[in-house]
Structure formats: C-alpha cells, structure tokens
Structure 1
Amino acid sequence: MNAQLFVVSTPIGHLDDITYRAVEVLKSVQIIAAEDTRTSAQLLKHFNISTPLTACHDHNESNKTDQLIQRILNGENMALISDAGTPLISDPGFKLVRAAQQHQIRVVPVPGACAAIAALSSVGLPSDRFSFEGFLPSRQSQRVATLEKLKDETQTLIFYEAPHRILECVKDMATVFGAERPVGFAREITKTFETIKKMSLSELVNFIENDHHQQKGEIVLVIGGATEQKDLEQEALDKLLLRLLQDLSVKAASQLAADLTGIKKKVAYQRALELTDKKQD
C-alpha cells in the first residue's frame, strides 16, 4: 500500500483526551510533522512515542511542503499534528494536505479534540447551524469591519481570540452586535482553570474587566445568531408592555414603551394590541 498522510487530532489540554487510535498512528508512522517540535515532544514522551519529529509551521510550511511530500512518495507514512486540537483549524497544515491531494496521496483523518466544537457543545447556544470564523484581525478598525459584515448572520458564530486582545474584542462585539447579544465564553477548555459561561456581551465585558484571570489562556467565543437576538429583543419588549398594560391603556403603554426602548411607537402600539387580544382570548 502506498504511504499515507494522517491528520491527527491531539488533546487541547487534558492528555486523557487523546484517542487510542491517535496514539497507535503516532507510534506506527515513520515521521511526525508538528507545529512546534518542543511542545509535541512533551506529548510524545508522555505516551512513550519515539517517532521522529520535524517542524511544519506557519513560517516554513510553504518551503517545506515539497520535501515532506517527497518523503511520503518515497514510502514514509507521515502524521500531521498541531500544538493542540485538530490540525488546519486555525493551525498550519492546509498547504501540506492540499499538496498531498494533488499528488494522489491518501489523506486519513484521525479525529479528536477541537476547541471550537467543544465550546459549541457546552455553552447552550443553537448548534444546528454555525460558522467558524477563527481569529479576528488584531487591528481594531479591521476587526470592527469584519464584525459589521457578520452582525446580521443568523447562524451561531464561533471565534478564537488571544488573551491579550479578549477585552477589546468583546467590547467591539458589544458595540457592533448589541450589548444584549448572547455569548458563550469558553476559556482553558479541559484544563485546570476551565471556565465556561453563557451571558450577554455587556455582562461578559464586566466579567472580564473585574477578573484579570479571564484575560489568560486559550479562549473561544460563541456568539448567538442575529435571529436569536431579535427573539430576545421581542421577549424584552413583550415583558415591558405586559407590565405597562396592567396600569395603562394600550396607547399610553405603547407610547411609554417607545420612549424607553427607542423603537417606533407604531411598532409598540401594534404589539400592545396583539398582547391585549391574547390576554382576552
């Protein structure tokens, strides 16, 4: 059988999250292409894996791909790993996998941990439709421009963010998406100081500002889609109108609701009528 390229997921924190298959593959291949050989060496040592490592990272992948492909063509099975999680997901490896496909080399996925999916599965936001957006631009102007393009998307959005930018990033999200947009905050998943919370963006800004520990480690942000935000706004308006209607006429309640929320009086009036009709039914 011709040599193959195995794309192997590794733990994102807790070492027990590696799969039996991943360990066996890493032991059986002739060479492992790793994002950082020093980091990966510690993982291999823990599982008594003696397979040689070679570096394949953002700075050398373009130049090294041909060399790695030639080794596979010469009969060496190769595994591709990143520092943590699934390769290619905001990590190096795309150029190597693409080249392997172009050379008719079989690419074999060995699934496992992925921070984006782990966060999505645990924060309690809709998971039937989502998009992974990776890291936002580091410059604020570019970051805001990217967020503006995404603010009306109805699917759940998943972002990675660096700890030194997390506070400014969440502030920009609150400005663009709205302070009440729901967000899942997942930090240091599977590690000792794992933090997983769901709140509004404004609440998350306060949470991070008041606890500097939340500005450390690996962070995933899961943002509720635009439709969910609209649902929350409608729910808040209904709650306000129902309370006002206990003491005021439809006209007065809708006027006050419009003044308090900034929505058009006509919209508030129509919704107040609908709520009044439901109560009578």
Structure 2
Amino acid sequence: MCNLKIKGLSTSYGDKEILEDVNLELEKGKFTVLLGLNGAGKTTLLKSIVGLMKKVDGEIYIEDKDLKNMNYKDKSKLISYIPQNIHTSQDYLVEDIVIMGITPHLDIFEMPSKEHYKRVDEILKELNIYHLKGKNIGNLSGGERRLVYLARILIQRYKVLLLDEPNTFLDYVKQYDFFNFLKSLIKEKNLTTLITLHDINLALRYADKIVILNHKKVIDTLDCSKEGYEKILVNHMEKIYEKDLKLIYTEVSPMIIL
C-alpha cells in the first residue's frame, strides 16, 4: 500500500532548479533507498517532503493528507527526519534530546510523564547507548550523536522516516549493526521510509526498493524482490558515473565493483 505519494514535485534554490517533475510512491514496511550522484538533489528531496524548502511546487500526500498544508506540529507527528549533519546545542543531555521526540504529541502545558522517561531508558538500552544518558550531546562523537537521534525518533509515533546518509560517522562494524536494527524497525512498525545513501553496495544489501535520482528527476524505482534488478541497477549507475562497473555475487548479497 502506498503511504506517501509525490506528484510533479519541483524545487529551486533561488533561480536554480534542483528537482523537476519528481513523481514517487513509497510503500509501508519497505526499506527504500535513494541513490544518485552527490549534488543530484537527494537531500533536497527529503527537505522538500519535510517542508524545509521555500520554493516547492507539486503535490505531497501522506495517506491522502496534503502535507504541504499541514502545520509544523501536525507534520512532526507523521514524519521523523534526521539530516546528514546534525546541529544542536552543546548543553543538552542525551536524555533531554531523546525525550524531545515526544513533544509534538503533548498538549501545550503538558510535561513528559514517568512512563515517557522509562521508555527513554528502554530505547537507550536497546541501542546499547544507555551509558551516554547523562552526557552532553556536544561531547559525543558523530556516530554516537547519530544513534542518540535514532533513539529520539524511536519514542515518536511517526509513520514516515526520512534519513539522510545515516551511516555518516559510523564505523565499519557499527554501520551494519545500525542497518540491521533499522531494517527490523521498518518491518516491525510498518514504516514508510526514504533513506539516502552514497554506498551502492549497502543499498544492494539492505534495500527492498531502490529509487534512482538523476538529472533532477527520478529515473527509475527498482523492486529488489524481482529477478534481474541488480543488472538494471548496474546499467543505470554506469550511465550516471560514466564508468564500467562489474556485478559480483556473494553469499550475503550482490556487490558492484569498478
């Protein structure tokens, strides 16, 4: 079932058009990856969905609700977005950052409950970062900070998850732990997702759907359950990178190499 639908979306920075007539449908419960060259507009597409771009034309719907006409609080109840570069005050404790995730669901003068804080502890333990609970966010490494923000979205009752290069700052082992956890989360909560990556092989290993962005438009959406999708992906990426690529098969997943 389609949960997020984009029709005829165009976005500009000033007079420069970044995205043109983008059409895309995202399904619930699917690990959907967005691939494209650096500067192709992947981040801009996520920001356009969230409402962080000023010049956006076209339609964006979540479960038949017009996202462009929603206020920030209502939008925050539906969408969780983690940018590639996370900027926040150095003074917040990890526990404070995580509990902020429940704010859109509280009334104006309502405070987080003991149950909310209990859930924070559970999530931090689930991500193996409970030891960071009392630390200032500004004193953490980039990888630790990214896990803290993942913890914050886990306390939300969102329906759409947008992640921009979520493996940034994660070391080799932790990025696989992260993606294994993320894939399980998407299935368990039946989330609609769009996740930008620059690593094609991570997409091949984890994606259920692969969206390819090039020359301002979505040029293809591949269903990774269909036989032969890997070869189609190679053909697209060879044209995009203007390089000959080789597809090999391993016990874990297919891989693309130069």
Is this a same-fold pair by TM over 0.5? no
Higher strand residue share: 2
Higher helix residue share: 1
Bigger relative contact order, structure 1 or 2 (CA pairs below 8 A, ≥6 apart): 2
TM-score (normalizing by structure 1): 0.26
